[in-house]
Amino acid sequence: MATKANIAEHKNVWVFAEQNGGKLARVSLEMIGEGRKLADKRGCELVAFLIGDDVKSEAESLIAHGADKVILAQDPELKNYSTELYTDIICKKADAEKPEILIIGASAIGRDLTPRVSFRLNTGCTADCTELDIDEEKELLVSTRPAFGGNVMATIICPEHRPQMSTVRPGVMAVPEADKSRKGEIDEISVHIKPEDSKIKLIDSVEKEMHCASIEEAEKIIGVGAGAADAESMGYIKELAKELEAEIGGSRPCVEQKVIEHEVQVGQTGKNIRPELYIPCGISGAVQHTTGITNAKYTIAINKDPNAEIFKFANLGIAGDAKTILPALIKEIRRSKGKE
């Protein structure tokens, strides 16, 4: 537990490195990239905390992507995520080594683990952040997140307790390039866990059958909104996606209308995306959606309302009905490929 009296004892930036089935989750590498920036600003080490079974090769990957040190806890009982066991291991090590900052990806696992860790360490946590930075004058972590339904951005600090904790939504931060020549330390801690140490028993784990692609990793995405959710427009959107080898995502109203799956919903209550190309069709540009598209590299918006908010986020805007614009766009793409 940190208070004003011993805050100075805390140092280094820690990242919880989530793994699934022995492989690092993408969000773990996103957190490493962001953690590296924070550690450089603080002039300290970046430490990744990896828990699992037979995952030492993933520790090397964490170092290649930017970690200076990996705390590694391995045991057959840790193969699958356990709130109870993971919390105990992280908090015991944090009490001993006193990190200044701890960031965790806001995945399903991260959202389950973080509140328990923050409570045990008697500190606060800013959840679902879209930006992290260091106030160099105050030497504090500055966490930014949407608030009040996404209508404002809140900037939050934790001046009196350590570690300063934040979770970051998957897809918000970029994955850093791997440098296999990087050297780092692997601190493998001794854990001896007996089956009876956990009150919760995992009987079976069944991976959910997905009917759609992971749009967080897609390079091209066609977005469908309420203004293009009719059958005719959706037919053109599917044709365009096929021509561009793109995935189809969209806004919350289209999920509620069962036009698209929740897994490809983009925005505050969906996914954050960072494609090379994003083409929102019939999407008005409400803040609940645009908070998820700020990292798209190039956006071409199609909307029949010339004053739609989405045009403020677009590199190129086309004012017109999707049922007119999309077939013309498909025709031009096919002509450029020599198909017409």
Say yes or no: 34 and 180 in one domain. Answer: yes
Q: Tell me, what CATH number does 237's domain have?
A: 3.40.50.1220
pTM (two decimals): 0.77
Question: Residue 167 domain-assigned?
Answer: yes
pLDDT digit string (tens) for 10-54?
899 999 999 988 899 989 999 999 999 999 999 999 999 999 999
Output the average pLDDT for the chain: 88
Buried (b) or exposed (e) across 94-128, using 16+ Cβ within 10 A? beeebbbbbbbbbbebbeebbebbbebbebbbbbb
Say yes or no: 191 and 255 in one domain. Answer: no
Q: Give the pLDDT confidence score for residue 151 in this predicted structure.
A: 63
If one compares 172 and 49, the residue with the highest pLDDT of the two is 49
Please count the other Cβ atoms lying within 10 Å of the Cβ belonging to residue 194: 8
Residue 282 domain boundaries: 215-336
**Cα–Cα distance measured from residue 266 to residue 294, given in angstroms and rounded to the nearest whole number:** 11
Say yes or no: 235 and 170 in one domain. Answer: no
Residue 331 has pLDDT above 80, yes or no: yes
Question: Residue 34 domain-assigned?
Answer: yes
Confidence of residue 340 (pLDDT cuts 50, 70, 90): low
**Integer angstrom CA distances of residue 150 from 47, 51, 106, 128, 256:** 32, 34, 17, 12, 19
Closest among 242, 251, 256, 248 to 214, alpha carbons compared? 248
Which residues does residue 283 pair with via DSSP β-bridges, in sequence order?
Answer: none
Residue 277 has pLDDT above 90, yes or no: yes
Residue 109 has pLDDT above 70, yes or no: yes
Question: Residue 204 domain-assigned?
Answer: no
Say yes or no: 186 and 60 in one domain. Answer: yes
Say yes or no: 170 and 267 in one domain. Answer: no
Say yes or no: 31 and 180 in one domain. Answer: yes
